[in-house]
Structure 1
Amino acid sequence: MVDPTRGVLYPARLPQFHRLPPPAQVAELVEWCWIPEWDIEPGRSSRQDLVSFPALNLVVESGGTVLSGATTRASSRELTGRGWAVGALLRPAAVAALTEEPSTLLDRVEAYPAPGLTEAVARAMSSGEGHRERAVAVLCAWLGERVGEVPAPARHANAMAELLMSDPDIRTPEQAAARLAVSVRTLQRMAHRHVGLSPAAMIRRRRLQEAAERIRSHADTDLATVAVELGYADQSHLANDFRAVLGFTPSAYRADAGPRRA
């Protein structure tokens, strides 16, 4: 599993946050599960900023179950009071069983009909020691039953996403298509059907996540070096990507990436 803070823009400001591996029987459906828990004093809040993975999430909270689409920009949520969420970062193989058109969910969250799931996860989350593992088991068991057997095209879509999001040598859709032995058009259709984003957008998201992590973690690293190492044409290209998705420059992010003072 990747760094548990990858995609989190300000990890030092997170409330209690866990990423857990899925049970083996749903490994083709779920990349990992994630559980934030928070208890924030009255009158205060905690803003969480993310450059999310190019994937859908199935999320259970006390108020219900939602399906959250892939995003085209940074997203944020203001946490207040006390609460929790149990989410599954879905692999492409799970998506076809949950929505016909994942592109219609871009930058959107919709209530998802899952009778009994919210209550079952809530019981697990209130069950004492080991509650996170039990909540993950409940969510993943429901998902496995909902999806059923994974067909070969869905497995191919999983291979596509894994390649685009993990191989730094893949910098263009053409390279990815050649590696997967499909046409670029087939690759594009696969990404549209199982993620809702283009292959190029998925590659850009991987590079942006990696750039944010390096900029945040290595204060002395030159931004031009980061740009070159991650396949950007130059530092200006990196800055343009930051502004387009996050709304600020790499330099501004580096200056603001430390813990927020009370």
Structure 2
Amino acid sequence: MIDAQRGILYPARMPEFHRLPPPTQAEELVEWFWIPEWSIEPGRTSRQHVVAYPALNLVIEPGGIELVGASTKATHRDLVGRGWAVGALLKPASVVALVDDPSALRDDSMPFDAPDLLAAVTQEMVSGAETHRERAAQAFADWLVEKIGQVAPAARQANEMAALLMADATITRAEDAAARLSMSLRTLQRLAHRHVGLPPAAMIRRRRLQEAAQRVREQPDIDLSTLAADLGYADHSHLTNDFRTVLGIAPSTYRAS
């Protein structure tokens, strides 16, 4: 099930925002498509703060396409005027066909040259059709399926790895994931490096921080020591340090905001 707010630090500040599941033929390639559309009053700016998923995104806007690497910290973007974007949260199986070394894009991005993809998605987004978002996602998915082709066994294994690290709260160490997947720790690390660009421990840390931020936001009375224990942190201080390192603020400060 797609959580429309996971990873978004201040959902109430978001413009119109949708996460759409991929069509069946692209389920091994895309976690979901995300589509914001905004119209900000002249002279004003809407700042959007995100703790992104540990994955690459291929992002289309009217001016071009960017391949955005996995991030290790909270990020923000300032929205002005009118605009839209169509992004694909890529599963690891997509990455090897799009970039040679995803770790080189960590906390960075690069222009991506695919004029046919840009034209197809733009055509749907400006069509004025009631289903323009769904049609844009379909055009995006069709392009990815044609571009990537058959998914190799190693890529499927990387998908399984990412799903485990990002969805299973019982996995608190990379060694736990390696054992669950019946592979060596070194093999797990190679899969993560080649298909995500982050080490497995960083992916686990991101899942726990996303969960922590969401629970602090949605359960304002939650005891932070209890939350730390629930998420596998050694103690309250460990959670607070992770929060400060990635988000730049303490959990108590985020809760107050």
Q: Give TM-score, length-normalised by structure 2.
A: 0.99
CA distance in 1, matches of 2:27, 2:236: 38
CA distance in 1, matches of 2:117, 2:175: 41
CA distance in 2, matches of 1:20, 1:237: 34
Counterpart check, 1:12 vs 2:15: no
CA distance in 2, matches of 1:75, 1:234: 26
Where do 5+ consecutive residues of structure 1 fail to align? 257-262
Partner in structure 2 of residue 27 of structure 1: 27
SS of 2:164 mapped into structure 1: helix
CA distance in 2, matches of 1:77, 1:119: 24
Partner in structure 2 of residue 232 of structure 1: 233
SS of 1:226 mapped into structure 2: helix
Partner in structure 2 of residue 213 of structure 1: 214
Map 1:4-153 onto structure 2 (within 5 A).
4-127=4-127, 128-153=129-154
Q: How far off is 1:2 after superposition?
A: 3.1
Where do 5+ consecutive residues of structure 2 fail to align? none
Per-residue Cα deviation, 1:81-108 (whole angstroms, up to 9, x for no partner): 0000000000000000000100000111
Q: How far off is 1:116 after superposition?
A: 1.8
Q: Is the 8 A contact 2:2 2:19 kept in 1?
A: no
* Structure 1 letter corresponding to 2:221: D
SS of 1:116 mapped into structure 2: helix
CA distance in 2, matches of 1:95, 1:140: 14
Query: Which of structure 1's runs of 4+ aligned residues deviate more than 3 A?
Result: none
- Name which of structure 1's ranges 150-159 and 111-120 shifts more when overlaid on structure 2: 111-120
% of aligned pairs identical? Answer: 63
Q: Give TM-score, length-normalised by structure 1.
A: 0.97
CA distance in 1, matches of 2:161, 2:89: 16
SS of 1:19 mapped into structure 2: strand
CA distance in 1, matches of 2:110, 2:42: 28
